[in-house]
A and B are shown apart, each in its own frame.
Chain A
């Protein structure tokens, strides 16, 4: 028996081994091609950002103009300059212009610089900003970003996580209460999300800061700043209320509406009705029969939310004077500071690529129907 069964076991083992090898090969092949595809996407995306941020090289002209204007205005107030011989004046201006153009890299053609920007960015060599400095005075792009990161993470993570989980939980509940008053109210209020968060922010500032004087207009802490520790934390918390509320308020209804519609589709499946007929509780129904099949979508949304957190909210941060990455981005764009813009972009691009890459595997883990590298 054992002698007879051995070949079968061997066959079974070799089939398993072959299947494993096949799976590994499939996953490996998929991983390789996916990584290459994503890398190419990142390269294209970052290079497009460089081109757009520099208006295809036209920003060089703008910067050259600004350099010359700045020098002219400085010299116009220099009595020593006025007393110089005309030829000395010309030479002096030429020297100053040349120094500044060299410092800003304008002595090299944009095409060459754009490739340097790209290559350095891909290696995460973020380099030095052209005009911006970090809040503490550093020109390193990494420091410019890192200094602003905590403030942005605090604001965006708080608001987005509250928004995400609140929206899902409320939506899940509403999907089981289709047509109720609250459901209709959410549907009715969902168009309010067409207004951006800064719009609500201005309203809330007017109401709660200017009129009621309950909350601060903006900033991150009181001035003068409280002592470190709990008073500091409470001050930050107080300053977070309005921007977090604005960010949540601007999206909460549409988020609930989206998720509620999404869950509604699953709620009306036959197997849900069957489970309900079997007498399962609402909680079990939601958890096992609605949430589980929608998990890939929820995870995708959550993953994108996580990487979206770090980009900040440019205008909302500006309205609330919140010292986050959004405001840094705003300033970098205004100053045509390509290294900072590229630095912010490449980090986002890599995070997005990694998230997209990982999601494929996570789908396979949470949904048995999904096969990494499978055709369907």
Chain B
């Protein structure tokens, strides 16, 4: 009997092991993130320029008298991405702020009945080694040295298959180095669709082109149908990334299978980023150690302009120009001019830019140094009964709107005031936070952007900017620059010349602790390409720091001092690692001027410009690139840095450290830094220190300084850290080892909680086409187009354009045109007799692309008909 029991028990254990082994493995969070894609940035010391809000995407459904955040508290903790959905379902957390990327994740979210964001995540491509056609290192053939072979890879891979099989159909097939969800794609949708039609999956064509080229290279197929060269098999080495989100393994396997099916022998080398990087980035392509790499790139926000991607991905002039691979890229002179012009915005009109894009499609894309595969999507889940805004590119945690819109909702979807949200993410407190050169991890920015505030906020659906702490702005750019204005809070002017006033500040004298004026530095005068004037509201100084101090003009001047101080030799806080960034900044910075302190008005001059007027606004704020900070906190931490007891940057800390006297990378929130900062706070308080007195002395009184330091001492005594912002949440408790922290509502935050409710959900349009199923060749035809959002007609004033694209039976693009507006949500496409006359008999397709003003992602619909 007992033996039977033992057998049963044993079988149970074995069965449980097998069942468990069949389940998905727990995957620890990767220590590093994918490299983000290029996106515009602004000068240091100031947040990125902004654009005014256009029409509200959705109407606020609710109003309130509550200020600040809807919730009382957010409790952050670390959870693995693999368990996020399960933990939300079990009630362990309410929301996961990070990115889930696979279709299995999305399915799990749906199965669990959770809500989720949907944002553009990684985008995937195949990178080819163009060296050869015979590798110097191995003497072996490299078919991908031939442009036609690389280009034929476009036809060899079925992107729809990849999307359906690997990404569950939620991703988007990708053919270009611009994202299908960003404005440039919407602007040039006809150009993009033409390329997509050209490179649509065509296995036979791929095989035919590659066969021709291989034979021209001297390769022959053996009896097994395998390509050989000099009597050796032509083996393609493909580096398949196994880390990241894991989807590049099936991608790489699919591409390998396709190559094998046309006669290549494939060596699949599965590698992590660290293992592959020395080969494809640093290695000499001529060594012949690889042919194809499964690449992926990330986005950190909606990019309003992706023109520079052509240079970034295809030119030796790329920021990746250090890489031997990029140096192996050769563009024709004409293509080089096009990529440079798009990278530097060197054009005068948008028509010129469009022409440059068209040329890039013809001259650069066919080089096929890269073959684009998929625009991936990411998902962040949260439980029913909770709501939050998210960025269409960055998701939840990077955009500061998360803290301002996170709320519990009732069954009708209306906000419920109060409550504690349990927030999970993959990590927390990765590096020491300090506003000058502290942690820049996403995991830390999620709580930093909740505790900070900004002059402008990024529109999560368009990538434009919205005024947050400024009244209005004026922008002046040089005549001839193709800048447009789509906002009502920015006025745009053009000028033949923009002179920088002689009393504008342009540089810093660390010894005298005063700014150098333009008049002193440039006696003959100075001009700029762009000027912005920002008008702050009269109640600006009513805003309180978390320690209770009122904001003042000195808080706005200190960031500019700190832009120069660490990188300027002779400064007490000189940091060699900051020199390069400062020099880079100075190369385009042309000065700034405090026009008025109350109300605050600041002029800013620069040679960097963007073609959206709002992006040209430099909305200065006490934001230092790695967090908000008041002048008095910076004064304290400067003392610690100057004394060599702490260092803002990791580089300086390492440089100053010795075995016997270590210097810590400064942390405002924990560790050995706190005691040192506290000591210098006491010193500053005892002296009523006015930092940089020759400059800030005009803006700070001794009494104000004393009051501020006293406030900071009280804050530190209460909270136990120095992270003092002006945002809607206050960092309350920090548990480093336990990896948890709590944020509480800032009761002094001035804005109503419903301020950002208009951005609750992206107003993605739904498009339908109706018309005759048969169209006579040479006869006029009309089609009705219906554009709606959640069943309601999409307002015409929120639509930028409705384009149609007519494709012939062979997939070629016959015509591109604009649909005519009939009424809100209703358009008509008219194909003239001449147009239909160009159709061959057979199936044709009409595609409509709707570009909204309030969401950057275009919507598409297609209608197939028979031409006869």
Contact = CB atoms under 8 A, between A and B. Distances in A.
Given A139-B664, A188-B9, A224-B733, A77 B39 contact: yes
A72 interface: yes
A151 B737 contact: yes
Interface string B57-70: 00000000000000
**For the complex of A and B, 4 pairs with smallest distance between CB atoms:** A137-B432, A136-B671, A137-B667, A135-B736
Interface residues of B, number: 98
B320 interface: yes
A221 B738 contact: yes
Contacts of B92: 209, 216-217
Nearest to A105: B654
A103 B664 contact: no
A62 B736 contact: no
B87 A217 contact: yes
A83 interface: yes
A321 B739 contact: yes
A373 interface: no
Of A136, A223, A225, most B-chain CB atoms within 10 Å: A223
A101 to B, nearest CB: 11
Interface string A234-256: 00000000000000000000000
Interface stretch (A197-205, A260-268, A272-280, A296-304): A197-205
A188 B6 contact: yes
A135 B671 CA distance: 8
A106 B3 CA distance: 63
7 contacts: A66-B277, A70-B35, A80-B43, A99-B577, A138-B671, A217-B92, A218-B83
Contacts of B588: 79-80, 83
B497 interface: no
B317 A86 contact: yes
Contacts of A213: 90-91
Nearest to B438: A137
Contacts of A90: 321
B281 A82 contact: no
A79 B9 contact: no
A120 B660 CA distance: 12
A143 B10 CA distance: 46
Nearest to B25: A202
B669 interface: yes
A188 to B, nearest CB: 4
Interface stretch (B162-170, B578-586, B793-801, B826-834): B578-586
Contact of B277 (A65, A135, A191, A335): A65
A209 B90 contact: yes
Interface in B29-76: 30-31, 35-43, 73, 75-76
Interface of A: 58, 61-62, 64-66, 68-70, 72-73, 75-84, 86, 88-90, 92-93, 95-97, 99-100, 103, 120, 125, 127-128, 133-140, 143, 147-148, 150-151, 181, 184-185, 188-189, 191-192, 195, 198-199, 202-203, 205-206, 209-210, 213, 216-221, 223-225, 318-319, 321, 323, 330-331, 334-336
Interface of B: 2-3, 6, 9-10, 13, 16-17, 20, 23, 26, 28, 30-31, 35-43, 73, 75-80, 83, 86-87, 89-92, 274-275, 277-278, 281-282, 300, 308, 312, 317-323, 343-344, 420, 422, 429-433, 576-577, 579-580, 583-585, 587-589, 607-608, 650-651, 653-655, 657, 659, 662, 664-665, 667, 669-673, 733, 735-740, 742
B297 to A, nearest CB: 9
Contacts of A147: 736-737
A219 B653 contact: no
Contact of B587 (A66, A77, A84, A321): A84
A148 B320 CA distance: 38
B651 A103 contact: yes
Contacts of A218: 79-80, 83
Given A64-B282, A125-B659, A225-B740, A96 B580 contact: yes
Nearest to B674: A136
A137 B42 contact: no
A181 B9 CA distance: 13
A181 B3 CA distance: 9
Contacts of B667: 136-138
A90 B323 CA distance: 12
Given A133-B432, A221-B740, 19 more contacts: A68-B323, A76-B312, A78-B41, A80-B585, A80-B587, A82-B308, A92-B584, A93-B322, A97-B322, A139-B657, A139-B662, A151-B737, A188-B10, A210-B87, A210-B89, A217-B90, A219-B739, A224-B422, A225-B735
Given A61-B282, A77-B39, A125-B659, A224 B319 contact: no
